[in-house]
Every structure is written in C-alpha cells, then in structure tokens.
Amino acid sequence: MGREIRRVIPNWEHPRETAETARDPRAIGKFIPLYDYDYETHLAEWIDENSQWQRGEHPSQKGSGCKYYQDYAGDPTDPDMCRPKWSENEASWYQVYETVSEGTPVTPAFGTQQELIEYLVANGDFWDQKRRREGNCSMPCQPWSRDAAENFVKELPWMPSMIITNGKILSGSELAAFQGVLGSGIMTQQTEQAAQRRVATALIIGYQPSIELLTQEINEVAKRHIPDFHFLNDAVSTFWKCNKSPIGMCVFKLSERGLKTDCRYCHQPSERK
C-alpha cells in the first residue's frame, strides 16, 4: 500500500459516494477515489503529449513500439476520477492519501505539517485506526512513531508505507510510483538525494529474496549432478562455462569467509587473471 502527502485547499472535504453516484448502496458514504490532478490540466497535457507524438518528438516514443500516443499512454483520465482544479498557492493544506486506487484520504486535512504529524503520532492513519477497532493487528495498526511521522511528512512527499512501517520490500508498483517523483523537481536537492538513496536501498533489498530463491534453485540443479555439493562450500558460477565441470559451469570453492576461490574442476580463475 502506498501513501502520499497531497496538498489540498483549506478545509478540503474529499467527496464521498452519494445515493446518486454509488453503484452499490453499500458504497454510499465512502470516499470516491480521485487522482491528484484536475481534468482541465490533465487533458491539456495529454493533448500536448499527443501532438509531440504526432510530430515524432515525444521523449518516450523511440523504441516504444507504439504508433499512436494513445497506445502508449491510454485515453485521458475520466473527469470523474480527477479532483477539482486549484492552484498551487490555493493548495496550502496537507493530507495523507493512500494510492492503492487513484487515491482516497487516510487522514483529515491539516493547515500545517506539524498538525498532521501530531495527528499521525496520536492516531495513525484511518487504516491503522480501523484495524485497531477491529482488533486486526496482523498488519501495522499502531499510531506512528514520531520519527516515522516526521520523516514522512517533512522529508519525503511520497513514501511507500512498507518502508515506513518495517523498512522492508516495496512492490513494483509502489516503487514505480515512488520513482515517479524523483527528478521531478518537487523536492529540495537534499531531499531528492535522500529519496534517491532510499529507492536504491529498497531496490537492492527488494531483489534479495529473488536472488536467494534463484540461487537456491541453481544449487539444487548442481546438487543433482554433484552429490557432495554444499551451498556453504560451493558456489555455482552463472557466468563462467567449464568443460571439466559436470554441470558445464564453474563451481567455485568458497573460503571460510565466504569468498569465492578457484573452480573445483578447472581451478580457474587463477589462469584467467
């Protein structure tokens, strides 16, 4: 689940489903998911990008395999999924949104960052509160630590919740959304650097389970052909081919410190150096 801080107009009340708009009566009163842009601006941008595409000047065009901008970007967003239009100056308040869908608020709107921080420290967001009410705390459900709240509200305009809550892996879509704000110029240079570092760390940590899983599978292949293969002593090369090896790839002996030494079959890389 991703969360972001949105800038909203003072006393903004996010619209809710009514008897007229709700497809299902059970949805009445629920927040209507809205993107953080207005239709007029969005449509103007879409038209502009479309004409860049028609002129063959769109930066994403080359290698996209798409003849039309529409094939690349899809249709313009439905007006019902866009927020009302307001200027940056008007949008002086702060509100936390979850972005699993287009976006619905998970806190009230506040006039200052400090008020928002105090709210999160006292309550957590709407989901934390709901989980506490329902006694369902298998997911994080406590009010936020002051560090987490301050970090989120002040340092990064957009931060995936998984990072906040336990410093762990992001889903691909969360990461993509997070990366979307990098380099956009909406952060100070210092914040941008911190965000870049955080994304790099998240990427690397995020890949680790996949690496381990694949290494395990590779080791199982090796084990079938090399009965005394042991992952603590041996590491299969996924790069060096080896004529002498029963699996056709070098199998490095690991030293006690886990460093790779020579292949147990061809005894390279000493000769490769």
Q: Does 82 bind Zn ion (CB under 5 A)?
A: no
Binding mask 222-251 for Zn ion (x = CB under 5 A): --------------------x-------x-
The rounded distance, in Å, linking the Cα atoms of 222 and 240 is 14
The rounded distance, in Å, linking the Cα atoms of 199 and 160 is 10
Phi/psi class of residue 22: alpha, beta or left (left: φ > 0; alpha: ψ in -120 to 50)?
beta
The rounded distance, in Å, linking the Cα atoms of 255 and 142 is 45
List beta partners, residue 16.
31
Closer Cβ to Zn ion, 37 or 265, answer by number: 265
Q: Does 187 bind Zn ion (CB under 5 A)?
A: no
3-state secondary structure of 206: helix
Please report how close the Cβ of residue 222 comes to Zn ion at its closest, in angstroms.
Answer: 12
Report the site for Zn ion in 123-182 (rule: CB under 5 A).
none
Part in contact with Zn ion (CB under 5 A); list of ranges 27-35, 168-176, 191-199, 262-270? 262-270
Please report how close the Cβ of residue 223 comes to Zn ion at its closest, in angstroms.
Answer: 17
Q: Does 266 bind Zn ion (CB under 5 A)?
A: yes
Closer Cβ to Zn ion, 4 or 234, answer by number: 234
Extended beta strands in 65-167, E state:
82-83, 93-98, 104-105, 158-160
The rounded distance, in Å, linking the Cα atoms of 66 and 73 is 10
Q: Does 265 bind Zn ion (CB under 5 A)?
A: yes
Q: Does 260 bind Zn ion (CB under 5 A)?
A: no
List beta partners, residue 235.
252
How many residues line the site for Zn ion (CB under 5 A)? 5
Query: Where does this chain bind Zn ion (CB under 5 A)?
Result: 242, 250, 263, 265-266
